[in-house]
Amino acid sequence: MAKQQVTVPDIGGAEDAEVIELLVAVGDEVEVEQSLLVLESDKASMEIPSTGAGTVVELLVKEGDQLSEGAAILVLEVSEEQVATPAEPPVEPAAQDVAPAGEAAAPAAAAPPPEPVSPAPVADAITVVVPDIGTDEAVDLIEITVQVGDVVEEGDSLVALESDKASMEVPAPQAGEILKWLVSEGQQVKHGDALLEMRPTAVVATAGQSSASVEAPVAASAPAEPATPQPATPQPATPQPATPQPAAPESAATAQGGDEDPAAGSRSPASGASIYAGPAVRKLAREFGVDLAQVSGSGPRGRILKEDLHEFSRKALSGAHTTAAASASGIPAMPEVDFGRFGEVEVTARSKLDKLTAANMQRSWLNVPHVTQFDEADITELEAFRASLKAEAESRGSKLTPMPFILKACAVALRDNPKFNASLAAGGEQLVFKKYINVGMAVDTPAGLVVPVIRDVDKKTLWELAEEVIELAARARDRKLQPADMQGGCFTVSSLGSIGGNGFTPIVNTPEVGILGVSRAQIKPVWDGEAFQPRKLLPLALSYDHRVINGGDGGRFFDQLVGLLSDVRRLSL
């Protein structure tokens, strides 16, 4: 095994390009030409491919670093076999080797000379053709970014092209007016194809050429190494050619574009996701603090446009009050996810009740330091007593479920543990002890969760409570509850016993300070000191506001409650 350092190849003279995404980590196996990281200069973002195959043993850069040509990226451990046939040195791109004489003065010069410009009759128009884009195959013309009649500056983007490896802009070779398009969006084009005619605003005084085919000569005469991103901005002397922003050779997805228009796209696989956006959009996204992975692109092939970013930010700012509340309390806002990107979805409006419940839950969850304790009540005797009352219940036209017993037991425990029957007031300065015992009962309805309140539970008989449970549950499901029916609670019982589950952590129904969660009773073997006995155990969870109730308070309340349910005779004491 040998070590090989991979460095930044010629990136078109760009200095201090920022590492915006690292695509590999230590331990990863990489192939030749596999993208290692994404660099972004002020003009382009480009993926830097590996010049070797092997295991990444050391990463020498991190996101945010600024790199120029020759900077070390990482160290690969490569097999002897691979060393025997090493990849071309990464920092000696072919383009440099063939840089034409006379270009030394041009700092960005890194490319071979342009292909000869077609001789053309003297005229004031020029034809801009597709430059060398690193492949002889046709690529898609995905966007035309200027219209006939537009006056462009040199370097303004004219079209966006996309191969299956890279997307790139073709910039205007010089300033001028667009006269005629010779292609249309969606068409396939290849090196040398005529794109448009334009009339330069300043005629370049060279070689009798005022009407010519002008192209950008990226790597035209010296094919780039497979693992070397193509150089950018060659500056041939005459005529000023379209300085096409670099085409990627085979595997190197390299794109460059103007700052003003996000027409240059680049695919940057990060964490398996493909973000398709140009440098200007990426820059803007960083300024906004927006994760581009969350933004849906409306441009061709889903490319993210500046407009998409603005729309995303607008939505985020005017988002749901829950998000705003979260932001106001310093909690990072939840990103909005476009689930449609992963498959078919259906979007429906939430009911008012659902939204209200959501807001209440979140308010309670964020404001109340919750503690939840768990226990089981042995309700074997309670169930036997309940069964013995079944006929009587029927004759009364009623039904006796465990709920009235639970309510009654809560009332006794609330009476004996008054802090559970209190609420915080005056910003936490005072406690309000209530001399009444009203217990809310969570009811699951098709429209959402509602909590009607049963008043004076301590003063009502089991039969009265049974009737009220039935009546309130029916009114809740028929949406016949009045606001007053849901006010004035001191404590809440949430029973999922008829639905199922071993336990859950209920959220305190503020401004109350306690809530009991009831799960499904089950017969379980219980050791009585001599043998296991089949007993019916009711799983209970008690959540409380730890600003008001401490563990001792909670334990005492819960212990009494469990005792009362385990021996219902004590309910009458």
- Catalytic (active-site) positions: 546
Please identify, using beta-carbon distances, which residue of 12 and 402 lies nearer to ligand CAO: 402
- Structure tokens, 221: 């005469």
| C-alpha span between 293 and 304 (Å, rounded) | 10
Per CB under 6 A, which of residues 14..53 are in contact with ligand CAO? none
Task: Give the 3-state secondary structure of residue 445.
Answer: strand
Residue environment code for 20-47, b if the CB has 16+ CB neighbours within 10 A, otherwise e: bbbbbeeebebebbbbbbbbbbebbbbb
Please identify, using beta-carbon distances, which residue of 263 and 481 lies nearer to ligand CAO: 481
Query: In angstroms, what is the minimal distance from the CB of 421 to ligand CAO?
Result: 21
| C-alpha span between 473 and 450 (Å, rounded) | 9
Given the DSSP bridges, would you call strands 491-495 and 439-441 parallel, antiparallel or unpaired? Answer: parallel
Task: Determine, following the binding rule CB under 6 A, whether residue 313 of this chain makes contact with ligand CAO.
Answer: no
Contact, 281 vs 307, CB < 8 A?
no
Contact, 446 vs 477, CB < 8 A?
yes
Write the interaction track for ligand CAO spanning residues 536-555; mark x where CB under 6 A is met and - where it is not.
--x-----------------
Phi then psi for residue 486, to 5 deg, are -110, 15
Query: In angstroms, what is the minimal distance from the CB of 499 to ligand CAO?
Result: 6
- Contact pick of 206, 298, 498, 505 for ligand CAO (by CB under 6 A): 498
- Calculate the CA dihedral of residues 10, 16, 17, 19 and round it to 10 degrees: 110
Please identify, using beta-carbon distances, which residue of 40 and 468 lies nearer to ligand CAO: 468
Please identify, using beta-carbon distances, which residue of 1 and 384 lies nearer to ligand CAO: 384
- Contact pick of 22, 496, 526, 571 for ligand CAO (by CB under 6 A): 496
Task: Determine, following the binding rule CB under 6 A, whether residue 454 of this chain makes contact with ligand CAO.
Answer: no
Q: In which residue are the tokens 């990103």 written?
A: 335
Given the DSSP bridges, would you call strands 188-189 and 139-144 parallel, antiparallel or unpaired? Answer: antiparallel
Task: Determine, following the binding rule CB under 6 A, whether residue 495 of this chain makes contact with ligand CAO.
Answer: yes
Residues 6+ positions from 320 with CB-CB distance below 8 Å: none
Binding segment (CB under 6 A) for ligand CAO, from list 88-96, 152-160, 495-503, 525-533: 495-503
Contact, 71 vs 9, CB < 8 A?
no
Neighbours of 53 (CB within 10 A): 18
Per CB under 6 A, which of residues 317..356 are in contact with ligand CAO? none
Residues 6+ positions from 117 with CB-CB distance below 8 Å: 207, 209, 212, 213, 214, 215, 239, 241
- Contact pick of 431, 449, 486, 526 for ligand CAO (by CB under 6 A): 449
Binding segment (CB under 6 A) for ligand CAO, from list 85-93, 223-231, 292-300, 438-446: 438-446
Task: Determine, following the binding rule CB under 6 A, whether residue 444 of this chain makes contact with ligand CAO.
Answer: yes
Task: Determine, following the binding rule CB under 6 A, whether residue 489 of this chain makes contact with ligand CAO.
Answer: no
Task: Determine, following the binding rule CB under 6 A, whether residue 560 of this chain makes contact with ligand CAO.
Answer: no
Give residue number: closest CB to ligand CAO. 497
| C-alpha span between 255 and 45 (Å, rounded) | 6
Task: Determine, following the binding rule CB under 6 A, whether residue 79 of this chain makes contact with ligand CAO.
Answer: no
Query: In angstroms, what is the minimal distance from the CB of 255 to ligand CAO?
Result: 50
Please identify, using beta-carbon distances, which residue of 457 and 469 lies nearer to ligand CAO: 469
Q: Provide the 8-state DSSP code for 332.
A: P
Query: In angstroms, what is the minimal distance from the CB of 449 to ligand CAO?
Result: 5
Task: Determine, following the binding rule CB under 6 A, whether residue 497 of this chain makes contact with ligand CAO.
Answer: yes
Task: Give the 3-state secondary structure of residue 137.
Answer: coil
Contact, 220 vs 136, CB < 8 A?
no
Please identify, using beta-carbon distances, which residue of 7 and 494 lies nearer to ligand CAO: 494
List 194's β-bridge partners, or say none: 129
Per CB under 6 A, which of residues 370..409 are in contact with ligand CAO? 401-403
Binding segment (CB under 6 A) for ligand CAO, from list 13-21, 227-235, 261-269, 515-523: 515-523
- Interface size with ligand CAO, residues (CB under 6 A): 19
Phi then psi for residue 13, to 5 deg, are 85, 0
Task: Give the 3-state secondary structure of residue 86.
Answer: coil
Per CB under 6 A, which of residues 458..487 are in contact with ligand CAO? 469, 473
Binding segment (CB under 6 A) for ligand CAO, from list 42-50, 113-121, 126-134, 435-443: 435-443
| C-alpha span between 228 and 250 (Å, rounded) | 10
Please identify, using beta-carbon distances, which residue of 274 and 498 lies nearer to ligand CAO: 498
Sequence-ordered alpha helix ranges (H) in 302-351: 306-317, 321-328
Per CB under 6 A, which of residues 208..267 are in contact with ligand CAO? none
Task: Determine, following the binding rule CB under 6 A, whether residue 518 of this chain makes contact with ligand CAO.
Answer: yes
- Contact pick of 216, 521, 549, 568 for ligand CAO (by CB under 6 A): 521
- Structure tokens, 449: 């969760």
Residues interacting with ligand CAO, by CB under 6 A? 401-403, 441-444, 449, 469, 473, 494-498, 518, 520-521, 538
